[in-house]
Every structure is written in C-alpha cells, then in structure tokens.
Structure 1
Amino acid sequence: MKINYKLPLLLLLIIPSLLSGQKRWSLQECIRYAWDNNLRIKQQELSIEQSENNLAQAKLNYIPTLNASVSHSMNWGRSVNIQDLEIVENKLSQSTSASARAAVSIFEGFTRKNDIKSKGIVVEVSLQEVEQLKNNISVEIARSYLQILLSREILKTAQESIKSVEEQLERANKLVDAGSVAYSTLLEVQAQLAAERFQVVNAKNQLKSSLLTLKHLLDLEGDASFDIEDVNVDFLITGFSGEDVDELFRLSQSLPQIKSAELNLENSGLQLAIAKGRALPSVTFSAGYGSYYSDSREQAFFDQFNENRNPSLGFGLNIPIFNNHQIKTSVKNAKLGVRSATIEVKNRQQILYKEIQQANNDAVSYYERYKASESNVKAMEESFRYVQQKFDIGILSATDYTVAKTNLFKAQSEFYQSKYQYVFQLKILDFYKGKSISL
C-alpha cells in the first residue's frame, strides 16, 4: 500500500502559520470591544431609552385627549314609556348611547413646558452616566493591559536568568570534576537553578492570571486563547516634574461626573419651577358630542340618534386654595433638592481635584522610583558581572553568587514595576486632559 506523506507534511506547514496568526488585541481594540459588549454598559444604555421615551411622552402631553364610548343596556320589569309616560309591566327594553369627548389643557402654570425641559436634561444625564461607565472600564482595561506587559517583562527576565544559571551549572560540573571546587558548590548552584525555575513558573502563572483578568473585563466567553500585542512603552518615558494641577482641573471639567452633576443641578431648578407652577390656576377646554337610542320610542334607530344629538363645549378653571399643604411641602422639598444638587456639584469637583492631585503626585513619585530603579539595575548588573567572573574562576562561593543573582532579579523586577506604574499614571493624567487612553 502506498502511503501519502503529502497531507501530514502540508499540515505541519500550515498549523504553525495558523498559530502564529492568532489575533493579538491592541489596547484600543480591547476598549472598543468592552464598550460594545459590556453588560453594565448595555444595561445603562437602557436607561437612555427610557429617558427618551419619557421625553417623548412629555411632548405628547401638549396634544388634546380624545376618548369615545359606546354602551348598550337591556332592562326587565317595570319601566316608564318615554312617549306617554305610562308604566309598562314586565317588558324588555333596550337602549344604546354613544359619546365622544376631547379635552386640552390651556394653562398649567408652565408645568408642562418645564417638564419637557426636565425630561430632556434627564436624557443628557443618562448619556453622561454611560460615558462615565465607559471611562471607568477604559481605565481598568488599561491597568490590566499594562499589567500583562509587566508580567511578560518579568517572565522574559526570569527565563533569561535561568539560562545564565544553567550555564553556571555546566561550569560548576566541570570545576567539580577537575577538583577545583567542592561538591557543595555544585549543590548550591543546583539549588539556585531550582529557585530560578520556580520563579519562571510564578512568572508564567502571573501572566496567565493577568490575561484572565483582562479577558473577564472584556466579558469574553469560552476557553479560546487570548493574547495582546507586544507594546514598547519606553518612548512614553521622558523627563517628568509634574503637571499644573489647576490647569488639569480646568481641563477636566468636561468629564461626565462633573457634567452630570451640573445637569442635575439644572434639573433641580426645573423641579422647583414645576412645584411652584402647581400653585397657579389651571385652565382647560373640552368639547363633547353624544346621542342615544331607546326602543321604548316608536322611532327608527338613526332617526333617534339624529334627534337626540347632544354637543357640548366647556372651559374649566381650577384654582388651588387648600390642599393639605401638599404644594407648599413640594416647594420646600424642591428647594432642598436645589441645595443638595449644589452641594453635590461642589463635592464632585472637590473629589476630582483631590484625585488629580493624587494622580500627579503618584506620577512624580513613580518617575523618581523609575529613575532610581534604573540606576540600581545598572549597578546590580555591573556588580553581578564582577561576581560571575570571580565565580567562574572559583574564587567566589556559590552562596555569594546566589545572593548576587537574587538581588539582580529583584532589582530588575522593581525596575519593570516602577516603569509600568509610571506609564499608567501618565495615561491617567492624559485622561484628565480629555485625551483618550491609548498606547
């Protein structure tokens, strides 16, 4: 039997290319996907639709109401003949009536006008709340995205470190065989190699955990593999001495949490106007038309309906005089609502100012830590090269080598942590400037 080797060979060529072509998400793609699919955002967007429906209804309240009714009744027993007013015993009588009525409010103390304005502001508030939720999710995604990049750097460093220790283990074996160093030196290097492998395992697990965190933020379903792009953030790192906090605060006034508070303050003023408007007289106009038919009269159905027509026109004036102080209480509560909304605006501005101060202070601190850790890494690398040279020729103990190797890895980890913490704070400051979060 002839074996076809072409298909397996073709698969071997195709599979690696498919694996290498796995989608890797950019930060912007992650944020956009979350905006389109996050359930909290979808739920909040429903409130926008509800607010828009309420606004449409408030506008429709200007349209006159129109209602019609038709009724038919049957009676048994004693009744009165409408034609001659004689009493009729045990006779079935039937009657039919129909009417239509239209009504429109002419004046209601401007409550409808202010209600439309209020409902329009509620729509804008709902939009701002969605934007605030999107901003919060964007910040969390950026934090998680940078954490993945940090985990990758630490894993790469751990893998490079393990290669160095493996080389030292090979040298230690040769030195032990040659009798240049004690066997205990070999054991210590083997212990260091085991520790390095443990660090690699920890770094891999941390990377998996970071990827899973971002995947959860995106609400991605299933167990499909997920990965992000490799992004070099070094170009973002420049000299930094802090931002002008007052200028940042001025630029941040367009953020949703501030705009929604200001809109709520405006809405509370309209609610006060509505409450006061209910104390004013209201004027309504109505028009009606009706007729009826009864079989107690010896007259055709349509003739009776035409003869019994009953059109009507009317104006109504309602003057609030005493309503158990309900209107007065509503006005008092509306005034309290204005005061509360005013305080809320100031409170949110105060919180935002403190957040900007803290973000600016953190950015300065992380930049200083970054520069200090950068110098520390350079010093540790130089020191370790000197230690490694001495260890290679057998004039330094394995214990000293292990300590130097551990200190170098610790310094490198702290350097990467300070770098990505600083980059994240830069993105937060850009966010307060009104810029979108990107890398």
Structure 2
Amino acid sequence: MKKLLLFVFIVISASSGIAQQQEWTLQQCIQRALDENIQIRQAELDIEAANIDKSDAIGNFLPSLNANASVSRNTGLNFNPTSNLATTTQFLSASGGINTGYTLFDGLQNFNRAQRAKLSALSAQYGLEKLQDDIALVVANSYLQVILNKENLKVLKSQNEVTTQQLQQTQELVDGGVSPRGDLLEVQAQNATEIQNIVAAENAVQISLISLAQTLLIRDYKTFDIAEGDYAIYGEEMLLMSPQNIIESAKEERNEVKIAETNLEIAEEDVQIAKGAFWPTISAFFGYNTRYTNATSFRQDLDQNNPTSINEIGFVQATGQTVVAETPNFVTELVGADPFIDQLSQNDGVGYGLQINIPILNGFQVRNSVKRSKINAERAKINLEQTKLDLESNVYQAYLDAQGALKSYEAAQKAAESQELAYSYGKDRYEVGLINAFDFSQSKQRYDNAQIDLNRAKYDYIFKLKVLELYFGVPADQLKF
C-alpha cells in the first residue's frame, strides 16, 4: 500500500511539473515564430517553387529524348505493317522507336530564361529574409508589451502594499480618535481604486500573453509565459550616427531594396527573352523506329515441276494465225512471319536532320511582347526608385522616433525621480499629520503614474532602437535586449 501511494505521489508530482508554465525568452519566441509562422512557411514554398523553375530553365539546355512503343491485335481486313498489304486475318503487331532533339540556337532565349530563373529564386530568398525581419520585429514588440504590462503590474502591487499598510495605520488612528473618519474613507477609496487598477493590469498581462502566443501559434495559453528579467537598453550608439549613414547602410542591407533591384534585373531579362523571338530557331533531330508482326503472307514462286506453259495470247487478223507465247507458271505459298529479332533489323528505319524556323510575320506579337517587357522594366526601375525613397523616409522617421523616445524616457526618468521625492516628502508629512489622506493619496497616485510612464517610455525607447538597428542592417537574431 505504501509503495502504491508513493507511486501515485510521484506521478502527480511529475504531472504537476509538466503543467508548470514554460517561460520563453525573446530569442526563443523569435525562433518559434520563424519556424512556425504560416507566412514564412508560404515564403519557403515560394523558394522551392522558384528552385523548380530554375531547374526547368537549366533543363532547356539538355536534348530531349523520348521512346515510344505500341502493341495491337488486329482482326479482319487490316494493312500488314511490314508489307503494307491489305490482309483479312488476325495478327499481332508491334512497333517502337526513339527520338531525340536539340535546340542549337533560339536567340539566346534559353540562356536568358536560365538567368531569369536564378534571379527569381534570389528574389524569393530576399522576400523570405524580409518577412523574417518583419516577423521578428512584430514578436519583439509583442514581447516588450508583455514586459511593460508586467512591470506596470509590479508597480501597482508594490504601491498597493503601501496603501494596505496605510489603511491599517489610519484605522488605528481613527479608532484612537487621532484622525477623522474621513481620512479612513479616503484611504479605503484609494485602496479600492488600486485594486481595480491591479485587476485591469492583470487582464492586460493575460491579453498581451495570449496575443503573443497566437503570434507564435501556441494553443496552450494557460501554460505560456515569458522569462522574467531586467531588459537593459542596447543600441544607443545608433543615435550617435547621422541619418545619412544609416540610410546608406539600409540601401545596401535591407531586403526590400534587394528585392526591387532583383525585380528590375528580372524585367530586363524579360526584355532580352522577348527580343530573342525575332531570331530564327535552329534545331537538330534524330529518330529510329522498327516494326514487328506475326501475320502470315502469301508468296508466289516458280513451279519447279512445270516452270513454263504455252498459252495463246492472240491472233493475226489478216491471216487468222494464232499467236502463242511461253509464260512462267507460279504457285502461291502461305509464308509464316519471320522471327522477332530478324524483323527488328529488317523493318527498322532512321531519320535525322536539321530544322530552322524563321519568324516572318506573326501579327506583331513579338514586337508588342518586346514593348510590354520594356514597359515592365521601366515600371521596375521606377519601383526601385520609389523603394529607395520610401526607405529613406522610413529611416528618417525611425531616427526621429528614436530621438523622441530617448527624450521622453529621459523626461520620464526625471519626472519619476521628482514624484518619488514628492511622494516620500508627502508620506513623511502625512505620518506626522501635516497633510490629510486625500492630499497624500493624490501624491501617491502621481508617483504611481510616473512609474508607469517611465516603464512605457523605457520599452518604447528600446523598441525604437531595435527598429533603427534593423534598418542599419543588424540581423534580427542578433538584436540585443
């Protein structure tokens, strides 16, 4: 019985351990998003499809090789495939062959298609990397939001502990007749408000956790949590650079520019492919085929016993004399089919040669195709210019946002320090009865709000720095928090 109870205890303990919350670090969350995000999985499929297109383009340089074979059973009047004579009988026939072809020249279209396929694969890779950066930034923002909500909750709980002590002290003072009952009511109202704020902060923590879990495609919300830690501020050296330096680095490192540049190269390859249709196409071909049938045939041979005969073939009208001639005598024999191996060599054939296709008039299709390709290339060029302009604007905005976030953070630090001093001073005055409970609760509330504003400014500043680092070219998996 003791062993059974011990076993049950171990099982329950193990189950409790499994059910404990798993604490995720920021890097684990980012890696999870990169591994499980649906958009990233779709982008990875786009890369696979682009690689298949690349393989198709390379395959165009190889000769084509095809084999064919057929077997049929014929009944009734049919043409013998070996003698090409009409025969009324039943026979089995088979045929087979092999054909190969190779394009010798096509206006370099195959070469340009191969180049285009390589660029398409590269563009798909850049698209995946850009999506990974975007997802990492979204996860980091959601993660920092959870941290902010947790820090705010800690502030509210910590200050409520002070209020609870204050409530107890005020109760004693009121009971002793030292303080008026109004002070007790004021502290009780303050405590009720703080409890409401704590409940709202707890809900904010849970909502932000669920939002982060949904981003990571985690279904078990109850056991999901993030790792606790004091997140320092890294990357402040970015603000020591000029925006132009960051812009130049962004133009070289950011994937949206690489995508636009690659798309321009793809459009230029499309122009070359379209121009290639003006050129003639030269191809070579070779084919081999053979046939077999088990059909019997009739053969006429000279009669060895009576090789010739004298037959009347006419008469001379003037004299009435009969004209005779000696003609050979033939006998018809039924002949069976030749052996299979023999027929393969007897009935085979070979065909080979060169073929040239010269475009002369095609309803302006080639010319218009070239014009459309040039228009698309011009659009890609404009899109590249617009992408660079947008990137420059975004970098400037991110730089100004980071500067503004730094100023807000510094101001929040000063405000928090001032409110802390004011709160400490008000607390001392309240304890000696120089101010009432209402004034003290107002001072305490201003201090709480200052702490919450400081948390918000800190994590907003951290996030703005991460955005700036990404623009500068720091990989998402190397961002420090």
The alignment status of 1:300 with 2:298, answered yes or no, reads no
Superposed, which structure 2 residues align to 1:56-205 within 5 Å?
56-71=55-70, 72=72, 74=74, 76-77=76-77, 90-92=88-90, 95-205=93-203
State the distance in 1 between where 2:226 and 2:413 align: 26
Whole-Å separation in 1 of the counterparts to 2:238 and 2:162:
35
Q: CA deviation at 1:282?
A: 0.5
Change (3 A) 1:267 1:423: same
Q: Does 2:379 match 1:337?
A: no
Taking structure 1 as reference, are residues 15 and 82 closer, same or farther at Cα in structure 2, changes over 3 Å only? closer
The residue type equivalent to 1:198 in the other structure is Q
Deviations 1:196-243 (A, max 9, x none): 111111111111122222211111232451222233234538698564
Residue correspondence of structure 1 range 220-369 to structure 2 within 5 A: 220-236=218-234, 243-252=241-250, 253-293=252-292, 295=295, 297=297, 298=335, 299-302=337-340, 303-369=342-408
Q: CA deviation at 1:262?
A: 0.7
Q: Deviations over 1:44-96 (max 9, x none)?
A: 111111111111121112221122223336252487999797x76x5456644
The alpha carbon displacement at 1:376 in A equals 1.1
The 5 Å alignment of 1:384-395 reads: 384-395=423-434
The separation in 2 between residues aligned to 1:242 and 1:148, in whole angstroms, is: 29
Q: Distance in 1 between matches of 2:239 and 2:470?
A: 18
Partner of 1:37 in structure 2?
36
How many pairs are equivalent? Answer: 436
Gaps of 5+ in 2: 298-334
Q: Deviations over 1:313-343 (max 9, x none)?
A: 1100000111111111110111011111111
Q: TM-score, normalised by structure 2?
A: 0.83
Aligned partner of 1:437 in structure 2 is: 479
What secondary structure, in the 3-state scheme, does the structure 1 residue paired with 2:287 have? strand
Alignment CA distance shift 1:91-1:19 (3 Å): closer
- Give 1:22 deviation, angstroms: 5.4
Aligned to 1:63, what secondary structure does the other structure show? coil
1:207 and 2:187 correspond = no
Q: Pick one of 382, 404, 411 that aligns with 2:450.
A: 411
The answer to whether the 8 A contact 1:388-1:401 is kept is yes
The residue type paired with residue 390 of structure 2 is I
User: Which residue identity lines up with residue 288 of structure 1 in the other structure?
Assistant: G
Question: Higher Cα Rg: structure 1 or 2?
Answer: 2
Displacement of 1:419 in angstroms is 0.9
**Partner secondary structure for residue 102 of structure 2:** strand
Contact in 2 for aligned 1:74/1:93 (Cα 8 Å):
yes
User: Quick one: structure 1 residues 277 and 186, their matched pair in 2 at CA, closer, same or farther if it must change by over 3 Å?
Assistant: same
Secondary structure at 1:66 match in 2: strand
Q: Quick one: distance in 2 between partners of 1:158 and 1:168?
A: 15
- 2:20–2:223 Cα contact (<8 Å) kept: no
Q: CA deviation at 1:116?
A: 0.8
Aligned partner of 2:45 in structure 1 is 46
Quick check: 1:243–1:360 contact (8 Å CA) kept in 2? no
Cα distance, 1:321–1:200 mapped onto 2, change above 3 Å: same
CA distance in structure 2 between the partners assigned to 1:263 and 1:369 by the alignment: 40
- Indicate whether 1:401 and 2:440 are aligned: yes
* Deviation of the 1:3 alpha carbon: 8.4
Specify the code of the residue in structure 1 equivalent to 2:167: L
Instruction: Give the CA deviation at 1:279.
Output: 1.2
RMSD: 3.2
User: Aligned with 1:166: secondary structure?
Assistant: helix
Report the residue type matching 1:50 in the other structure.
A
Residue of structure 2 equivalent to 1:26: 25
* Structure 1 stretch displaced more, 145-154 or 228-237: 228-237
Shift in alpha-carbon separation, 1:194–1:15, aligned structure 2, 3 A: farther
- Report SS of the residue matched to 1:209: helix
Whole-Å Cα distance in 2 between the matches of residues 238 and 59 of structure 1?
49
State whether structure 2 residue 93 is matched by structure 1 residue 55: no
For the residue of structure 2 that corresponds to 1:300, the secondary structure is: coil
In structure 2, the CA distance between the partners of 1:19 and 1:242, relative to structure 1 (3 Å rule), is: farther
How far does residue 291 in structure 1 lie from its aligned partner after superposition?
2.7
The amino acid of 2:207's aligned partner reads S
Opposite residue 36 of structure 1, the aligned amino acid is: D
Aligned letter for 1:422?
Y
Preserved contact between residue 148 and residue 207 of structure 1 (Cα < 8 Å): yes
Cα 1:145–1:223 shift into 2, 3 Å: closer
In structure 2, distance between residues paired with 1:49 and 1:369? 46
CA distance in 1, matches of 2:83, 2:174: 134
Q: Cα distance 1:240–1:314, how it changes in 2: closer, same or farther (>3 A)? A: closer
Structure 1, 311-320 or 174-183: larger mean CA deviation: 174-183
| Higher deviation after alignment, 210-219 or 288-297 | 288-297
SS state at 1:232 partner: coil
Aligned equivalents of 2:415, 2:378: Cα separation in 1: 55
Residue 348 of structure 2 aligns to a residue whose secondary structure is: coil
- Is the contact made by 1:81 and 1:296 (CA closer than 8 Å) also made in structure 2? no
Does the CA-based 8 Å contact 1:363-1:425 persist in structure 2?
yes
**Structure 1's 314 and 236: CA in aligned 2 closer, same or farther, altered over 3 A?**
closer
Q: Return the letter of the residue paired with 1:307.
A: Q
1: CA distance between counterparts of 2:84 and 2:234? 103
Query: What is the CA deviation profile of residues 114-153 of structure 1, one whole-angstrom value per residue up to 9, with x for unaligned ones?
Result: 1111111111111111111110110011111111221121
1:59 alignment partner AA? I
Task: Indicate conservation of the 8 Å contact 1:28/1:438, yes or no.
Answer: no
The Cα shift of 1:301 comes to 4.8
Aligned residues of 1:288 and 1:313 also touching (Cα < 8 A): yes
